[in-house]
A = this chain, B = another copy of it.
């Protein structure tokens, strides 16, 4: 079902400060910094292992009343989710539902890099798991 870890996401208060830490302290340059209007977030992807390796995604929520901002207020900055890449998100969604996994999306949502669903942490050892089918480029 899942092909690889696409990225690990970290929730931060100020994207530029977090990008500067990774760049100046750890020597990891950001690939890109951009806004995702559909999710009301600003993100940076970092690829310490090169373009084909798993990435770090830094996420800054843009909207005060969003679920991500509430997560930030409640738990503080830190790791937010792990994203696994899959070949076919629709088949994955059906298979997971058939197995009784609690999914947070009844239809794949439009994510930063493709179509995705999230699995509820209560069924995944406390980890918010994203399953992502990437757009073809």
Contact = CB atoms under 8 A, between A and B. Distances in A.
Interface of A: 1-5, 8, 10-12, 17-18, 21, 25-28, 48-50, 53-56, 58, 76-79, 82, 84, 96, 99, 101, 121, 123-127
Which of A4, A21, A56, A125 has most B Cβ within 10 Å? A125
Contacts of A127: 10, 77-79
Number of copies: 2
A77 B25 contact: no
Contact of A49 (B4, B50, B121): B4
A121 B76 CA distance: 11
Contacts of A21: 123-125
